[in-house]
Chains A and B, each alone.
Chain A
Amino acid sequence: MYDKGKIIPGIIVFVCLLIFPILYNSGSAGVLPNPEKPKDQKECVKDKQYMRTTHMQLINDWRDEVLREGNREKVVVQGKKYDKSLMNGCMTCHTNKKKFCDECHVYASVYPYCWDCHFVPKETI
């Protein structure tokens, strides 16, 4: 092999750099997110598991229904009406963005651009 002296150390350095973040964080999962749910509410529009995995899809679908189809019919769950809206729906119960949304989003390093346009309820600004 030509240039053995350069290639092999090069590969070793590359692999070390590659696995450094894994080694550095090994053994600790970090602080697990613990989103705070609204205290005065028992129900959401869907069950907990569904909301955890699919809330972004749901919000996306709501947006298209409201905007594109003009279907602003409220969602009724157990007699309670919810606006199909992030700002005027979700956030009326989940009033604390920091303790609810950001808790997981920051942990997963997900930064949706919702808040570039929509507002966070007053108390959490």
Chain B
Amino acid sequence: MDDKRRRFLKLAGLSAVAGIGAPSAFNLLLKGEVNASSPAPASHGTESPGSGHGEAPTGVRLGMVIDVNKFAENPGMAQKCVDGCHQTHNVPIFLDSKGQVNPKDAIKWIWKEPFENLFPDHSHYRRNDALHELPFLALCNHCDNPPCVRACPTKATFKQKNGSVIMDFHRCIGCRFCMAACPYGARSFNWRSPRERDENGNLKFIKNLNEKFPTRMRGVVEKCNFCAERISEGLPPKCVEATGDTGAMIFGDMNDPNAPISQVLKSTFTIQRKPALGTLPSVFYII
């Protein structure tokens, strides 16, 4: 579409909405019917500054609810999610010369994290011991207002129409600005080649290769892609699949009021990581 016309229409539409809507919105606020400071979770579509993507609020916004209680009932399931994801996406495990996992080079798409590290802003005073032993899963929050997308100088990381934040590995220059920008530590860098081979020509760091999905190359940033390649085929994300029918992870379109995820979010108390930063995460936790 013609860019100028588009901009004009946007502007015209905005002024019209402002003109018609402002008085009534103001009234609503005065009556206290809307809480001005907390944006609705399904706000995908509001022109958030810097995100550069505007979508009608009726568009798809993918989200995920993680029910920690279900993980407590099924020990070992969290690890299954991690392994399933990392195997599907050919995430390498870098070993040092002694054959130990080397945390310096680590690449993680989804991983287990204790409560106090995942939610450092929550009070850990007089902590609840049971809570601190639960296996929480950490992954990219696919923020509605992603700081990484704002920081990327080449649009190598960007927000898709369905709300997921993904990477174009072909374009990434490896400046790692996104890693500094992400407040959730969700991003990993390929400090060395994930495709290194041993003397027999076998990949050293990737076992159980998935030949349907590429690896990465050294010098690019990577992270969870909300299984963009699986969703397009109508499959759930791999981690969700690994939880089977336990209902430990619920995935779907948060803008569809009939979707199970919307029902859960409406009826259950959930928390998000670092909500004060205004990034509007798409991943919710049931404690």
Contacts and interface: CB of A to CB of B under 8 A. Distances in A.
Q: Do chains A and B touch in the complex (CB under 8 A)?
A: yes
Interface of A: 63, 67-70, 72, 87-88, 113, 116-119, 122
Interface in B154-179: 158, 160-162, 166, 168-170
B166 A117 contact: no
A72 B209 CA distance: 23
B149 to A, nearest CB: 12
Nearest to A60: B170
A88 B195 CA distance: 19
21 contacts: A67-B168, A67-B228, A68-B158, A68-B160, A68-B168, A69-B161, A70-B161, A70-B228, A87-B212, A87-B214, A88-B212, A116-B195, A116-B217, A117-B169, A117-B195, A117-B215, A117-B216, A119-B209, A119-B211, A119-B214, A122-B211
Contacts of A122: 211
B232 interface: yes
Nearest to A122: B211
B232 A72 contact: yes
Contacts of B215: 117
Interface residues of B, number: 18
Contacts of B212: 87-88
B216 A70 contact: no
A122 B211 CA distance: 9
B195 A63 contact: no
A72 B230 CA distance: 11
Contacts of A70: 160-162, 228, 232
Contacts, number: 33
Contacts of B211: 87, 119, 122
A68 B170 CA distance: 12
A113 B215 CA distance: 12
A67 B217 contact: no
B182 to A, nearest CB: 20
Contacts of B170: 63
Interface in B213-240: 214-217, 228, 232
A1 B58 CA distance: 80
Interface string B182-196: 000000000000010
Contacts of B160: 68, 70
A118 B195 CA distance: 10
Given A69-B161, A70-B160, A117 B168 contact: no
A63 B168 CA distance: 9
Contact of A117 (B209, B214, B228): B214
Nearest to B213: A87
Nearest to A67: B168
Contacts of B169: 117
What are the 3 tightest A-B residue pairs by CB atom distance, in nearest-first order?
A116-B217, A117-B214, A72-B232
Contacts of A72: 232
A22 B69 CA distance: 74
A118 B166 CA distance: 18
A88 B214 CA distance: 10
B200 to A, nearest CB: 13
A113 B217 contact: yes
A13 B217 CA distance: 43
A117 B209 CA distance: 12
Nearest to A118: B214
A94 B79 CA distance: 38
Given A87-B212, A88-B212, A117-B214, A67 B166 contact: yes
A119 B255 CA distance: 37
Contacts of B158: 68
Contacts of B161: 69-70
Given A68-B160, A70-B228, A88-B212, 8 more contacts: A87-B211, A87-B212, A87-B214, A113-B217, A117-B169, A117-B216, A118-B214, A119-B209
